[in-house]
Structure 1
Amino acid sequence: MMMTDASGDTTLHKAVQSQHLDVVKLLVKEDPEFEFLPNHAQETPLYLAAEYDFHDSLINILEYCKKPTYSAGPSNRTPLHAAVIHEHEDCIRSLWRWNNPLCEEPNLWGWNSLHYAVKLGVEDVVSDMLAWKTSLVYLPASNENDWTRAIHIAASEGDINMINKLLNHRPDCRDMFNRNNQNALHVSVLNNQDKVVCSLLDSDKCDSLVDEPDRDGNTPLHLLAVSGNHVPELINHPRAKKMSFIKENQTKRPHICFSSIGCA
């Protein structure tokens, strides 16, 4: 298994790619202590099995190898990243049973498997991960100071069910800010997710989001005015400050007053 071809693939790489299950099983059983190295594309045999949904090969590697490795794959992704991104549910479940903490590992851009599961709306996976560790909702999807969290990702995608799932596990995640000091309501307005705006405002627990200013002093209502959208639930919300000003050191011009579009 140590010999490689021009692409850096070992015999096990080839067996996985060809779905020769008997060969996969034989190679892994023959040397269960072997640490499966990546090819030139940074793909281990386990990563390939997860990425291409070769579930039977993946099971054989996990079952017979005493210390299966998950060396960082392309863009520092784990096999669980690959399975979640491609929505290969059987591979996700098997990798999850094998190693729960895989879901915490960030890729090159700071995104872990939970972030991708939230973005893609894979609710069962998100439920399993949060049931294991609810604090995952606090992990930022960035390798710098972005501070985008799962709630912001769900808001930007307009996924009301996912937002509710996150709030059911950790209600306080509604109060988290990204780098621009924006909450989920800011993000949903910026992404024209009007249904999410209405859903958040339907709960009095989210009332505090309405008049929170972002880094530039903009409340969600300010951003709504700039967008040109018309969401009465936000415009007429009792906490919406229609005549407030944005941050002094950004501009001395007031934002649009909603009386101009028929709202007193």
Structure 2
Amino acid sequence: MAAASAATVEFGPQILWLDKELLQVLAAGNKVLLEELLRGEGGTHPPRTNGQVAISFHGTSEPAARRGTSRLLGVTSNGSTALHVVASHGHAELAALICERAPSLAATRNRSLGTPLHCASKAGHRDVAACLLRVMDQATPRSRNLTGATALHEAVRHGHVEVVDLLMTTDPWLASVTTNGGVSPLYMAFRSLNSVNFNCKPEIAQEILNWPEGPSLLTRADSSGRTPLHFAVIYGRLDTVKLFLGGDAASPRLTSISDSDGSYPVHAAAMFGRTKIIDELVKKCPNYYELVDDKGRNLLHIAVESEQEMVVRHICGNDMFAMLLNATDYDGNTPLHLAVKQGYPRIFGLLLGTRGVDMCIMNKDGHTARDISCCASTLEHGRLRYFLKHNPEKYRENDKR
């Protein structure tokens, strides 16, 4: 009898539903009741269609009562097994018991092709993940769900450092697996950043980068051409930017990777007003002034168009950025042209008051910044015309420069 109660079962192809009583025990994490059910001491209610096991055989479905370990041979409406359920809830003792009685469940997938390890990793349950890894074969941790994500992707996406550490220690190769969209775990760590749910964690990035092939993931881009550095910049993570640029050999290459619009990380920093990050990127990329997007715009052009007054002020007040002041885009527009076109008086004033800015440069249409201000009709352009009219010395001063 003891041998029978401890016997293992295999999860076969039959379609069975987990019964209500078992589901309640699994969700509650009650190990004593689960052991009773698996010994066949529970579930003595008469068979009933609702909440009982549906067995599919040659196209028919009949309710049937099951006892003992065989009760584990069932799934929820989403195709999740008993092990998926306890993994999601974080019940490590129940996971160990189920793995002992039905070890094949560890590799079983639900309708989303997720394994119990996916569930445990997504929820951040390290102890359950460790239990599952002990009974899995070598290939199972690398299983990918419908979107191509591994358990490591799920742990990274939800910021669970301890699970990331466990998975990377068990199988470092996971760091190189990409989703169907070509997203690596390192990229995902920064693609999912936002003010609401990003709660980490340079530790996650560091854990992945510690893997021998980890640094190579920094150059991998998504479908829009953006790398992890782009997203670290966009979300203002100076600490992470420094981490990524820490390797001197890789730094110049990282800062010189553009997205599908030709925008470099320094453009993203200018667009989102990240002055400290701009300085960090420029230190690693001496030829920053040559980095232009598909429209020929440098970081000052971008700062002006994005109305990032703080960035414009920072650039205008630092001689190291002098090469940007009169640079033209592919339409021949200087940052000053763009300030007038956009109708930004404060930014226009900052540029006009900066030594070295030339107001007489003509764009491809043969227009200077002053010409544009005279042709436009909006209120803001009117203010610019007023500024030029009542401050002629500024215009004459620029003529002499």
Same structural fold, with TM-score higher than 0.5 when normalized by the shorter chain: yes
- In the comparison of the two structures, how many residue pairs are matched? 260
Which deviates more, 92-101 or 104-113?
92-101
Aligned to 2:312: 197
Aligned to 2:33: none
Aligned to 2:324: 209
SS at match of 1:215: coil
**Offset of residue 42 of structure 1:** 2.4
* Aligned residue among 80, 85, 93 for 2:206: 93
Q: Rate the CA distance shift 1:72–1:235 in 2: closer, same or farther, 3 A.
A: same
Aligned-pair Cα RMSD in Å: 2.4
**Offset of residue 31 of structure 1:** 4.6
In structure 2, what is the Cα distance between the partners aligned to 1:256 and 1:77?
A: 46
Aligned to 1:21: 126
In structure 1, what is the Cα distance between the partners aligned to 2:340 and 2:360?
A: 12
Asked whether 1:140 is paired with 2:249, we answer no
Unpaired segments ≥5 residues, structure 2: 1-105, 375-384, 396-401
Superposed CA deviations along residues 16-64 of structure 1, whole A, max 9, x for unmatched, are 2344423312333445632612211322100000001122221111111
TM-score by length of 1: 0.88
In structure 2, what is the Cα distance between the partners aligned to 1:124 and 1:189?
A: 26
Which deviates more, 1-10 or 39-48?
1-10
Unpaired segments ≥5 residues, structure 1: none
Amino acid paired to 2:208 = L
Is the contact made by 2:175 and 2:185 (CA closer than 8 Å) also made in structure 1?
no
After TM superposition, the structure 1 = structure 2 runs for residues 73-84 of structure 1, keeping only pairs within 5 Å, are 73=179, 75-84=181-190
**Offset of residue 202 of structure 1:** 1.6
Is the contact made by 2:175 and 2:186 (CA closer than 8 Å) also made in structure 1?
no
**Offset of residue 171 of structure 1:** 2.8
Q: Rate the CA distance shift 1:94–1:236 in 2: closer, same or farther, 3 A.
A: same
**Offset of residue 94 of structure 1:** 1.4
Higher normalized contact order (CA 8 Å, seq sep 6+, divided by chain length): 1
Superposed CA deviations along residues 83-142 of structure 1, whole A, max 9, x for unmatched, are 223342132221222212222110111111011001111111111111212121001122
Aligned to 2:72: none
In structure 1, what is the Cα distance between the partners aligned to 2:281 and 2:184?
A: 23
In structure 2, what is the Cα distance between the partners aligned to 1:76 and 1:217?
A: 37
In structure 2, what is the Cα distance between the partners aligned to 1:261 and 1:78?
A: 57
Asked whether 1:241 is paired with 2:358, we answer yes
- Identity in percent: 23
For the pair shown, the structure with the greater C-alpha radius of gyration is 2
Q: Rate the CA distance shift 1:52–1:100 in 2: closer, same or farther, 3 A.
A: same
In structure 2, what is the Cα distance between the partners aligned to 1:62 and 1:159?
A: 32
TM-score by length of 2: 0.60
